[in-house]
């Protein structure tokens, strides 16, 4: 929708120029029309001194401009309210007016991006547009190949959401000063390589949080509404980020090379945006909500996600898994029993992990605990010639099945 407050100055709907200014708290602002193309403008909120308003108009005029206690951020793409109580909504009106029309190019492009998960992709985009406050998974587009369209997707999202979408870098996410990017619906992180775990934790936390602590230079920290959706884009398929094996907040898609190289694809996609928004408005979701991020995590599983999780494991963990699989094969078993001391003894030469590290792996990776009471079990030992064997012993042992290791 178009907001009357943000209409062009010569619009018949907004002839009172006092609506082109506002006092927010103790500061004054002007709603300025910023050119973004041929006969296209977007409204920017810029600081404007009270005295300038007096000089340009009059003191009576300046005293009559709308007054608000502060800013608030409440996204709504259908029925946006610029005034919420005594606060001015910073969410920007979209310039697109949805109308019925051809979306062939858009759907073909999205089929390329989402592949066999096309309907899930359309659901993701529909929820973002119609219910922008809803949590959504972190959509990661990856490919080591060039000319895949993944960056084009990011630019297209920016074209849809205009001033409500922002390209940011990993450095922005790592900085304590986040006030410049928190108030955005979509945060696109292009050419991503996130080596700092702090940044990963920030993305994980914010992707399922309605509040964030905003901090800007020379300003006090404050709690603000946050509804951002993260879209990392990277050429590093398995190393752009490290995530836990049980992580469910990430949807990772490997994007293939485009079959045809259309240098004007973004221009065509932009032309169809009003039609696509109409399409989303009248489309029925293919899924029902099953969790806080709407989707069932199993629906979002891809080989790209499996590869990322596999590569995220500690190198020593991979060595340990291979060792345990070989041990099962050598003993002809699909199940091993051992105490923490047993595991340390049989792995210290080849793996070299400490007891505390092994205990952490058993608990947090394999999700197994030892028996609380001692019982008989098949203790693994090395015989005099270096082969593995078992003997009956008693202790508080772990039980590890092959399916937990060989996955």
Annotate 188-205 with DSSP letters as a single string. Answer: EE-S-----HHHHHHHHH
Alpha carbons 202 and 172: distance in angstroms, whole number: 11
pTM, to two decimals: 0.79
Q: Range(s) for CATH 3.40.50.300 in the chain?
A: 104-311
More confident residue, 2 or 41: 41
Average pLDDT, integer, range 157-167: 96
More confident residue, 33 or 76: 76
Question: How many residues belong to the chain?
Answer: 407
DSSP conformation class of 237: T
Has domain 104-311 been given CATH number 4.10.520.10? no
* Residue 140 reports pLDDT greater than 90: yes
Average pLDDT, integer, range 19-38: 88
Alpha carbons 172 and 281: distance in angstroms, whole number: 33
Arithmetic mean of pLDDT over the chain: 91
| Per-residue pLDDT tens digits for 276-295 | 999 999 999 999 999 999 99
More confident residue, 3 or 260: 260
Alpha carbons 53 and 50: distance in angstroms, whole number: 5
Residue 14 pLDDT = 52
What Rg do the C-alpha atoms of the chain give, in angstroms? Answer: 28
Average pLDDT, integer, range 387-406: 93
**b/e sequence 170-195, b meaning 16+ C-beta within 10 Å:** bebbeeeebbebbbbbbbbbbebebe
Tokens of 179: 């006030």
| Per-residue pLDDT tens digits for 66-121 | 999 999 999 999 999 999 999 999 999 999 999 999 999 999 999 999 999 999 99
Alpha carbons 295 and 289: distance in angstroms, whole number: 6
Average pLDDT, integer, range 316-344: 93
| Per-residue pLDDT tens digits for 211-260 | 999 988 878 788 999 999 999 999 999 889 988 888 999 999 999 999 98
Residue 407 pLDDT = 64
| Per-residue pLDDT tens digits for 11-26 | 434 568 999 999 999 9
């Amino acid at each position: 929708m178009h907001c009357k407050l943000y209409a062009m100055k010569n619009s018949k709907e907004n002839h009172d120029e006092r609506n082109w200014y506002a006092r927010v708290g103790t500061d004054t602002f002007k709603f300025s029309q910023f050119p973004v193309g041929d006969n296209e403008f977007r409204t920017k909120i810029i600081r404007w001194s009270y005295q300038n308003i007096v000089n340009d108009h009059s003191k009576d005029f300046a005293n009559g401009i709308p007054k608000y206690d502060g800013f608030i951020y409440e996204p709504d793409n259908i029925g946006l309210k610029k005034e919420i109580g005594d606060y001015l909504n910073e969410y920007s009106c979209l310039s697109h007016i949805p109308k019925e029309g051809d979306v062939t190019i858009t759907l073909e492009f999205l089929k390329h991006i989402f592949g066999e998960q096309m309907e899930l992709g359309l659901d993701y985009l529909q929820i973002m547009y119609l219910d922008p406050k809803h949590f959504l998974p972190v959509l990661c587009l990856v490919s080591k190949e060039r000319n895949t369209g993944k960056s084009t997707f990011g630019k297209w999202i920016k074209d849809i959401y205009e001033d409500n979408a922002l390209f940011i870098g990993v450095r922005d996410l790592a900085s304590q000063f986040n006030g410049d990017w928190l108030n955005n619906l979509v945060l696109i992180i292009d050419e991503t390589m996130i080596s700092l775990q702090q940044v990963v934790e920030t993305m994980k936390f914010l992707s399922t949080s309605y509040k964030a602590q905003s901090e800007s230079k020379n300003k006090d920290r404050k709690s603000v509404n946050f509804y951002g959706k993260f879209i990392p884009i990277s050429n590093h398929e398995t190393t752009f980020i490290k995530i836990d094996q049980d992580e469910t907040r990430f949807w990772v898609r490997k994007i293939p090379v485009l079959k045809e190289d259309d240098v004007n694809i973004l221009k065509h996609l932009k032309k169809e945006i009003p039609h696509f928004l109409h399409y989303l408005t009248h489309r029925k979701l293919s899924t029902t909500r099953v969790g806080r991020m709407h989707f069932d995590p199993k629906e979002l599983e891809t080989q790209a996600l499996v590869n990322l999780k596999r590569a995220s494991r500690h190198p020593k963990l991979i060595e340990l898994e291979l060792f345990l699989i070989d041990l099962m094969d050598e003993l002809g078993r699909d199940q091993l029993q051992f105490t923490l001391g047993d595991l340390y003894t049989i792995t210290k030469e080849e793996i070299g992990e400490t007891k505390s590290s092994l205990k952490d792996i058993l608990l947090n990776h394999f999700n197994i605990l030892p028996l609380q009471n001692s019982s008989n079990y098949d203790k693994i030992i090395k015989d005099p010639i270096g082969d593995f064997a078992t003997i009956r012993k008693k202790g508080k042992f772990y039980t590890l099945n092959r399916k937990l290791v060989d996955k």
